[in-house]
Amino acid sequence: MPITTCIFDAYGTLFDVAAAARQAASEPAFSQIKDNWPQLADHWRLKQLQYTWLRVITDAHTDFWQVTQDGLDWALEKTGVDGDPALRERLLALYWELQAYPEVPAMLKALNDAGLNTAILSNGSPDMLNAAVQSAGIAGLLDDNLSVESIGIFKPDARVYDLVGQRFGCAKDEVLFVSSNGWDAAGASGYGFTTAWVNRAGEPMDRLPWTPQHTLRDLTNIPKLAGL
């Protein structure tokens, strides 16, 4: 069946998660991370994801904001800058103001102009997602922000992907699912979606039972994959 619905992961896919550390590092008050902010950003993101998986398998769900704070605290200690409460506060504040990648607005507009459904499907809590889309100026280009908080479990549990069909009344093979996380794209592929992995960093494919059908360097060609 033709694609009717394009679903996007949020953090790292539409929104640049490294932007918070990069911005803080450019500010004179936080010169202690001027040289190692990329490592801080990488540790923060990795722990944020790892804590979602661990909370799923231990049945200890909490919202994504708590996971984000926990991941940051680990990353700050790992990089030796955990003694500055002002830095922690600034990084967390910046996470609510993440910008979209440059190609995102035009890509979403093309999908909207063609009449396709567009939405986020994210581990992020509703208030975090709403803040991000408003800050990035793309709220008017999305039909919905679907959060795992409505079911209380993180990706890649199949119940998360179920939210798409429940919201849009579409079959699995009508959905193009896009994520910068290889494991997320793989999980969605196993679920039955057509998937695109946005591999901005040029990472190896995850060794999982399923693989994404498409691998891209950015989101520019998503309308083409959707049949436009």
Domain 19-95 = CATH 3.10.20.30: no
What is the distance between the alpha carbons of residues 177 and 194, in angstroms, rounded to a whole number?
6
Domain edges within the chain: 5-15+100-225, 19-95
Query: pTM for the whole thing?
Result: 0.96
pLDDT at 1 over 90: no
Sign of the alpha-carbon dihedral angle for 217, 196, 166, 187: negative
Residues with a catalytic annotation lie at: 9
Strand, coil or helix: 114: coil
5-15+100-225: CATH topology is Rossmann fold (3.40.50)
What tokens appear for 73 in the block? 């605290």
> Rounded to 5 degrees, what angle do the CA atoms 59, 167, 136 make?
85
pLDDT at 83 over 90: no
Helical axes 158-168 vs 182-191, angle rounded to 10°: 60
Smallest Cα–Cα separation from 68: which of 127, 110, 22? 127
**104-141 pLDDT, tens digit each:** 999 999 999 999 999 999 999 999 999 999 999 999 99
Burial 182-217 (b: 16+ CB within 10 A, else e): bbbbbbbbbbebbbbbbbeeeeeebeeebbbebebe
The arithmetic mean of pLDDT across residues 75-92, rounded, is 95
**145-187 pLDDT, tens digit each:** 999 999 999 999 999 999 999 999 999 999 999 999 999 999 9
- Going by the DSSP 8-state scheme, the letter that residue 149 receives in this structure is G
